[in-house]
Amino acid sequence: MAYQTIKVDTAVGPVGAIITGVDISKPLSALAVKEINAAWLEHHVVFFRDQSLTPTQQADFAANFGDLDVYPFMTAVDSNPNVIPIIKEADAELNFGGAWHTDTSYVERPPKATVLYAVEVPDTGGDTLFADATQAFHDLSDGLKNILESESGIYSPKLVHGREGSYKQAAARSEMAKDYGGAEDFAEQEVEHPLIRTHIDTGEKSVYCSLPHTHRIKGWTREESIPLFKHLTEICTQDKYVTRFKWQQGSLAMWDNRCVFHNALNDYQGMRRHMHRVIVQGERPQ
C-alpha cells in the first residue's frame, strides 16, 4: 500500500512494521490516523522510535484509534487517568507481562490495542517478543483447526491476579502495584470466549487462548487443558512467527491484541525498566 503521510518499514521481523516520518506527540491529520490504522491492521504491531510523549500526549495518540479503556488492576499516573505505569524496580524479581499472552483476554470486551511507551529502559535486556497468531493459526492442520474451532475457553484473571496468582504474591512482596482493592472479587471471575477468534476488521482467524489467561477449555478440567495450551503456545511462538523488539527510550509499540501474542523478557535483573501503557477498547471476541 502506498502511504502519503508515513513510511512503513517491514524489515523488523515476521510480524510488525516500523513507522517513521511522523511526530505522534502532535495532533494527527485524519489521513495520518487512517494510514497508521491501516498499517497496524495489516502488520498487527507498529513501532515508532525517538518519540517524546507526556502521558497525556500518549493517551491522545491512542484515542485516535478508539475509546480508551481502564485496566482493572493498577492505578494510573497522576497526570492522566488512562495511563498506567509499568515499572520493574532494580530489586524486583517478577516482571509484568513476562509470559506469552494477549492483554486482558479474561474480560468480556478485551482491549483491541495496547500502546506501550518506553520511559526508561535497562542498558541490556528487556526486549518484548511479538508472535503472529494469525499466521500461526493459518499453518495449523485442518484437524487441529476443527477441534479448536469447535471448543471454547473459560478465561479468568485468577491465574495471575487471583488470590493464588503470581502478581498478587509479587504485590505482597511490594514488587508490584498494591491496589488490587476493589478488583479482588473480579480477579476470581470467569468468562467464556472462543479459543480461535475472527478479527472484526480483517476477517482473519487467530489463535486466542493463552496459558496465563485461559483457565481451561469449556467442559474440560484444567489438568486436561494445560497440555493443549502449552502445545499451542509452543507452535505459535516458533521463531518464524516472532519479532523481537529492542526498546530505546522514546520507543512506542501499538499492538493488536486480537491477532498477536506478546511476551516481555525478564532478563535484566538488577536494572530498572519503566514504561507507560494505554489500552483501547475492543469488542467481545467472536
Residue 262 binding ligand OGA, by CB under 6 A: yes
236 touches 138 (CB < 8 A): no
Among 136, 148, 264, 278, binds ligand OGA (CB under 6 A): 264
Among 51, 114, 214, 251, binds ligand OGA (CB under 6 A): 114
- Shortest CB 145 distance to Mn ion, Å: 26
Residue 275 binding ligand OGA, by CB under 6 A: yes
User: What is the distance, to the nearest Å, from the Cα of residue 124 to the centroid of all Cα atoms in its chain?
Assistant: 22
260 touches 113 (CB < 8 A): no
Residue 128 binding ligand OGA, by CB under 6 A: yes
Residue 276 touches which member of ligand OGA, Mn ion, none, C-beta under 5-8 Å by kind:
none
**32 vs 92 by CB, closer to Mn ion:** 92
**103 vs 256 by CB, closer to ligand OGA:** 103
DSSP string, 70-111: --TTSPPPTT-TT-EEEEE-TT----TT-SSB-TTTTSSS--
| Site residues (CB under 6 A) for ligand OGA, limited to 67-96 | 86, 96
**53 vs 99 by CB, closer to Mn ion:** 99
The helix or strand, by DSSP H or E, that contains position 135, with its residue range, turns out to be helix 133-139
**22 vs 115 by CB, closer to ligand OGA:** 115
**114 vs 225 by CB, closer to ligand OGA:** 114
- Shortest CB 224 distance to ligand OGA, Å: 27
Determine the Cα–Cα distance for residues 207 and 133; give it in Å rounded to an integer. Answer: 5
User: What is the distance, to the nearest Å, from the Cα of residue 248 to the centroid of all Cα atoms in its chain?
Assistant: 18
- Shortest CB 58 distance to ligand OGA, Å: 13
Strands (E), the chain: 7-9, 17-20, 45-48, 68-69, 84-88, 113-120, 128-132, 152-155, 191-194, 196-198, 205-207, 214-217, 242-245, 252-256, 260-264, 273-280
**259 vs 264 by CB, closer to ligand OGA:** 264
> Closest residue to ligand OGA, Cβ-based?
97
Residue 137 touches which member of ligand OGA, Mn ion, none, C-beta under 5-8 Å by kind:
none
Residue 59 binding ligand OGA, by CB under 6 A: no
274 touches 46 (CB < 8 A): no
Determine the Cα–Cα distance for residues 96 and 104; give it in Å rounded to an integer. Answer: 12
Distances (CA, A) of 109 to 21, 56, 91: 33, 24, 35
- Shortest CB 273 distance to ligand OGA, Å: 7
Pairing of strands 242-245, 45-48: unpaired
Binding site residues, Mn ion, CB under 5 A: 97, 103
Residue 256 binding ligand OGA, by CB under 6 A: no
Q: What phi, psi does 195 have (nearest 5°)?
A: -80, -30
Residue 207 touches which member of Mn ion, ligand OGA, none, C-beta under 5-8 Å by kind:
none
Residue 116 binding ligand OGA, by CB under 6 A: yes
The SS3 of residue 272 is coil
Which residues contribute to the site for ligand OGA (CB under 6 A)? 86, 96-97, 103, 114, 116, 128, 262, 264, 275, 277
